[in-house]
Chain A
């Protein structure tokens, strides 16, 4: 199997996922992971799809191009990057909220990058009235780093942006 990644973005309407996945099914594709989000009026999806040997990026792109054209979607198709190797890393969830102002995501993500933390999931939006900006980031810590150490390093960044910040280590107990 070949691992292919597809992204498609465009004005939202019913049927986008159905049309894309239908075209992938036609060429023998099997969806492995899929994410989609509606941001204001724009719908975006990322699909990791396994396709049969002999089917490559060009074939997948050819299968999806008519669908994208009909639905007015921007389309990108590429080979999947290899899965990360190595020992498991400590995961944490960073939660940030406060009054909206430019630079919150950049400030936080910059501080995380400075400390070698890798963002693996991120979602941010405005909620309520007056609007509150809420930002959730899931990260992997570099080997040997501690959640409390990172929390201490992020606190001044949060202060500088006037937002509240908590960092919670992913619990590893099982029941």
Chain B
């Protein structure tokens, strides 16, 4: 089911989400809704549960077919994700479903290793770099109530109006 995507200034986007533990039927239903919702918007590469108003630590990333990610890992479920290692840094432009009118330049690690629970309950280690790492870090920020506007060096210079 396609859910409504919260837009800032909805305060729920600024709240930390709670850990899931072992994903049960409710989380799997939430995951299905997140997938439907992400697919309902063009060019969506990720979504986090707080964006549909559910304060669980669940995020979804899929950069498959994206020109910046020729070797994408495919659809990734990130439940209770934890950064194990990160290195490098690079500034890149990001757009967010919850801030649809803007894009912003955000500094992120270029290489990241994350431990996360998959929908089947197994704990996995994910190592990636570049744009896919950026998307993972963006979605993980949503689980802590952090938006791209919290990450820019300068609200004056690093935030841009989207195409009118």
Give me the interface of A with B, judged by CB distance under 8 Å: 83-84, 88-91, 138, 140, 168, 170-175
Contact = CB atoms under 8 A, between A and B. Distances in A.
Contacts of A171: 92-95, 103
A173 B64 CA distance: 12
Chain A interface, >50% SS class: loop
Chain B, interface residues (CB within 8 Å), range = 20 to 34
B164 to A, nearest CB: 6
B139 interface: yes
A174 B139 contact: no
A174 B160 contact: no
A174 B96 contact: yes
B100 A174 contact: yes
Contacts of A83: 164
Contacts of A168: 93
Nearest to A169: B93
Given A171-B95, A172-B43, A175-B138, 9 more contacts: A84-B164, A88-B164, A90-B163, A91-B163, A170-B163, A174-B41, A174-B45, A175-B47, A175-B95
Contacts of A175: 44-47, 94-97, 135, 138-139
